[in-house]
């Protein structure tokens, strides 16, 4: 009897045309049956947006990779996962959703804005084990070669051991450098914030417009964060949940007289 390969759904936010998703799909096709549903255009910073006010277009992509079925979708990363689960793969059990590899870090507060992580968290909401992979290199031609053995190792571990229902792993890789990666560490999300600046410019008609630009400010010195782990040249894994309730504050507020 043939052993059935695990079914792996892949999404991302950098679009179907990105190098990162190709690297990820190639690696995953060695351990499972792979279906890709990825945005047809760049969706960075899309957070957990979903498309409610217009319909989606979903088009098969031929010759994406051998042994990989691929589609491009006009929606957001979260839409891609929903469409994959509830339409394309309806009735089949998806064993794992992986997202990425993102071109750029999704550590610290970036997890909140990240389309890559929203695809993974969407899967977690659906009860599917999920991993978002990101590389700390924003280049469109970034070097992902050092991530490949770890992609397979981490995905296989999740398939073998499972993770608690409702959890998505936020995996960030240090950028490729001369120094070899030291290993993997489990950590927590650094409590940091983007300090935004808005640059005002004038269009050719004299009307103002504003470019947003931000720099991460990380005052979190309590140790064990994803930022700390990446600085030491380890791969960082933060298990994320979608229950935003702050239970401590729930208890505190019960004493409010409202």
Shortest CB 182 distance to a second copy, Å: 12
Is 205 a binding residue for a second copy by CB under 8 A? The answer is: no
Give, as ranges, the residues between 57 and 86 that touch a second copy (CB under 8 A).
57-58, 76, 78-79, 82-83, 85-86
Q: Which tokens belong to 184?
A: 């993997």
Smallest gap, in angstroms, from Cβ of residue 78 to a second copy?
A: 7
Cβ closer to a second copy: 72 or 188?
188
Closest approach, Cβ 69 to a second copy, in A, equals: 17
Query: From CA 105, how far away is CA 201, in angstroms rounded?
Result: 28
CA distances from 36 to 16, 25, 175, 179, 201 (A): 8, 8, 24, 32, 39
Binding letters toward a second copy, positions 223-242, x by CB under 8 A:
--------------xxxxxx
Radius of gyration of the chain (CA): 19
Instruction: Tell me the closest approach of the beta carbon of residue 128 to a second copy, in angstroms.
Output: 11
Phi, psi of 59 (to 5 degrees): -125, 130
Q: Are strands 168-173 and 235-240 parallel, antiparallel or unpaired?
A: antiparallel
Q: Is 92 in the site for a second copy (CB under 8 A)?
A: no
Quick check: 45 binds a second copy (CB under 8 A)? yes
Report which of 150, 141, 194, 140 is spatially closest to residue 174, judged by C-alpha positions: 150
Interface positions, 104-143, toward a second copy (CB under 8 A): 109, 111-113, 118, 121, 125-127
Q: If binding means CB under 8 A, how many residues of this protein chain bind a second copy?
A: 79
Question: Which residues ranging from 159 to 188 are in contact with a second copy (CB under 8 A)?
Answer: 161, 163-164, 166-167, 170, 183-184, 186-188
The least distance separating a second copy from the CB of residue 70, rounded to whole angstroms, comes to: 17
Q: Classify residue 208 by burial, with Cβ atoms within 10 Å: 0-12, 13-18, 19+.
A: exposed
CA-CA distance, 232 to 174, in Å (whole number)? Answer: 9
């Amino acid at each position: 009897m043939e052993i059935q390969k695990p079914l792996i759904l892949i999404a991302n936010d950098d679009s179907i045309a990105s190098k990162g998703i190709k690297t990820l799909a190639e690696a995953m096709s060695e351990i499972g049956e792979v279906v890709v549903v990825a945005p047809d255009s760049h969706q960075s910073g899309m957070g957990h947006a979903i498309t409610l006010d217009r319909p989606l277009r979903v088009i098969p992509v031929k010759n994406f990779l051998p042994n990989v079925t691929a589609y491009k979708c006009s929606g957001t990363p979260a839409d891609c996962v929903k469409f994959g689960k509830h339409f394309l793969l309806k009735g089949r059990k998806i064993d794992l959703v992986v997202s990425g590899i993102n071109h750029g870090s999704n550590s610290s507060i970036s997890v909140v804005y990240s389309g890559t992580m929203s695809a993974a968290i969407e899967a977690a909401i659906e009860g599917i084990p999920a991993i978002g992979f990101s590389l700390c290199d924003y280049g469109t031609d970034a070097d992902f070669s050092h991530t490949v053995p770890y992609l397979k190792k981490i995905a296989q571990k999740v398939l073998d051991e499972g993770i608690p229902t409702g959890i998505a792993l936020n995996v960030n890789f240090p950028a490729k450098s001369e120094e070899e990666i030291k290993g993997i560490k489990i950590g927590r999300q650094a409590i940091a914030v983007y300090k935004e600046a808005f640059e005002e410019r004038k269009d050719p008609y004299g009307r103002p417009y504003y470019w947003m630009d931000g720099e991460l400010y990380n005052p979190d010195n309590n140790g064990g964060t994803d930022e700390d782990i990446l600085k030491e040249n380890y791969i960082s894994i933060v298990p994320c949940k979608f229950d935003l309730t702050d239970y401590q504050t729930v208890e505190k507020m019960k004493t409010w007289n409202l």
